[in-house]
Amino acid sequence: MDFITNIDDMRDYSRKARGEGRTIGLVPTMGYLHDGHLSLARAAREECDIVVMSIFVNPAQFGPGEDLDKYPRDMERDRRLAAEEGVDVIFAPSAEEMYPGGYATYVEVSGALTETFCGGSRPRHFRGVATVVAKLLNIVAPDKSYFGQKDAQQALVIKRMAGDLNMPGEIRIVPIVREPDGLALSSRNTYLSEDERRQAPGIFRSLKRAEELASAGELSAARIKEEIRKILRQGRDIRIDYIEIVDADTLEPVETVKGNTLVAIAAFVGKTRLIDNVVISS
């Protein structure tokens, strides 16, 4: 497995692979890999000749007072896990390499996709995400890149950005990977105390309940939200950031479940903010 930290070296590597007629899959991550990331690498491994995993804790997507410094890092472990999944290259540039002095350009997706929802509580977050993904796509020039459905809004923002800017290559969205008790995998799960960890699966339980309700014909968003709230309140250290029931493509709020509808939750468990979602339909 190659380990590249320099943008020009990464570009050369990709150019050479393409010249040899090989397809490239990109898995962008912020590292501290868990099985969610590895499921993206496995999807890339199945579909592409070369798998590039980027590991970059992107300062541009953290707001002031957010957990940039605290964000967990373990490059040695990441290298081992990536190698085990058959990743061909880790691309791990420094912040200085990605955002050198005088850096001034940002990619912004406007409208409902970014302004509601996670964007409401983290205004600059998606600008940072769109910018770094545009940069990575330009550097690596992958045939396909892989993102997780767990960050549903992020996946939509990236698809919109890549489509709007006519970036070549396909954006692939991979299903959520969960612990046996339903908790969606996240690097932030490591912040949870034992007690908080026991409460955290309440988030997925509430989403399952929403799914059941819709299957049983309860299509009112307000009533589904109320049921979700009841379940979340059972967790003593759970504090709801948002519960949203929205069109799965546009993120416009809906009053009634109709077609593909995204039920998304962000909640603090203790001090740790977790997100999860399911897509339900009428």
For residues 153 and 264, the answer to whether their CB atoms sit within 8 Å is yes
109 interacts with its own copies by CB under 8 A: yes
Binding residue (CB under 8 A) for its own copies from 63, 77, 95, 106: 106
144-148/2-4 β-pairing: unpaired
130 interacts with its own copies by CB under 8 A: yes
149 CB-near residues (< 8 Å, 6+ apart)? 155, 173, 174, 175, 176, 277
104 interacts with its own copies by CB under 8 A: yes
The stretch near its own copies (CB under 8 A) out of 31-39, 73-81, 135-143, 258-266 is: 135-143
Helices 7-19 and 125-140, packing angle to 10 deg? 50
Shortest Cβ distance from residue 274 to its own copies (Å)?
A: 27
- Return the number of the residue (108 or 181) whose C-beta is nearest its own copies: 108
108 interacts with its own copies by CB under 8 A: yes
Binding residue (CB under 8 A) for its own copies from 63, 86, 111, 175: 111
Read off the DSSP letter of residue 47.
H
2-4/89-91 β-pairing: parallel
| Count of residues that bind its own copies according to CB under 8 A | 28
Shortest Cβ distance from residue 188 to its own copies (Å)?
A: 28
Contact string (CB under 8 A) for its own copies, positions 61-100, x = contact: ----------------------------------------
Find the largest Cα–Cα distance for the chain. Answer: 57
Structure tokens at 207: 């989403």
Q: Which is nearest to 92 in space by CA: 109, 79, 110, 81? A: 79
113 interacts with its own copies by CB under 8 A: yes
Would you call 228 exposed, middle or buried from its count of C-beta atoms within 10 A (0-12, 13-18, 19+)?
A: buried
The stretch near its own copies (CB under 8 A) out of 34-42, 136-144, 210-218, 261-269 is: 136-144
For residues 210 and 224, the answer to whether their CB atoms sit within 8 Å is yes
Active site residues per annotation: 37
Contact string (CB under 8 A) for its own copies, positions 149-188, x = contact: -----------xx--xxxxx--------------------
Shortest Cβ distance from residue 163 to its own copies (Å)?
A: 8
Q: Could you tell me how far CA 117 lies from the centroid of its own chain?
A: 14
Q: Could you tell me how far CA 72 lies from the centroid of its own chain?
A: 16
Q: Which positions touch its own copies (CB under 8 A)?
A: 7, 11, 102-111, 113, 130-131, 134-135, 138-139, 141, 160-161, 164-168, 250
